[in-house]
Amino acid sequence: MAAPTLNVVCVKAKPRYDHQYVNKLYKAVRQHLSIPLRFFCLTDDVSGLKCRTKNLPHQLHDWWGKLYLFNLYFEGKVLYLDLDTLITGPLDFVNDYEGDFAILRDFYRPEGYGSGVMLWNGGKQPRHVWDNWFANPVIHPLGDQGWIEEQVKDADRLQDIFPGKIVSYKVDCANGLPEGAAICAFHGLPKPHEFAADHWVTKVWNE
């Protein structure tokens, strides 16, 4: 039996990031997956992109565009990645997830959510996250992940399901990339393009 196709999705919404962040993420995901892949960028500006795209409503700026993911249907498993994410190892492990919806455990607030990486089975994402926000848009002080946290009380936590596979640059990489890490999140600053030429981040970023 053929391996199921994994959907990998990112969001590029004005004014954040340019097309190189999408194209580099797409290339890195392809390099680190051995199973069939469909890569999508949800965006309001398709210029320069080398992957499939889906239209993002133009009024959704910054990270609020991420909430529109909860309104979309993808056939099969879906892995969402923030654009400021480095892929540092094999990703096939995400296909082992059999639950409905999983999200990061916030790196600073262990009981909270971090929306930089999310994983769900097609159609099983909590649709009410979008429906409730669209009905009454709320600018949550913790951004989109604060809204998701408020709306979804019992999401699976990715670090609990896949120990050691997803790390934070700020929290976990003071002595370099931990062995076995496959996804490195760059919440806040610095961003992957801002490191010195001889730094390991730059080497991975430019692979």
- Digit-by-digit pLDDT tens for the chain (207 residues) are 556 789 999 999 877 788 999 999 999 999 999 999 999 999 988 999 999 999 988 676 777 888 999 999 999 999 999 999 999 999 999 999 999 999 999 999 989 999 999 999 988 999 999 999 989 888 888 889 999 999 999 999 999 999 999 999 999 999 999 999 999 999 988 999 999 999 999 999 998
Kindly list the distances between the CA atom of residue 128 and the CA atoms of 28, 39, 47, 68, in Å, as whole numbers in the listed order: 32, 24, 31, 11
CA-based Rg of the chain, rounded to a whole angstrom? 16
- pLDDT confidence of residue 3: 65
Q: Where are the beta strands (DSSP E) in the chain?
A: 6-12, 37-43, 52-55, 77-81, 85-87, 101-105, 113-121, 156-157, 166-168, 183-185
Q: Which domains does the chain have, with CATH numbers?
A: 6-205 (3.90.550.10)
Residue type, 85: T
Which residues sit opposite 6 in a β-bridge?
37, 77
The pTM of the full predicted model, rounded to 2 decimals, is 0.95
- pLDDT confidence of residue 6: 95
C-alpha 66/C-alpha 75 separation (Å) is 19
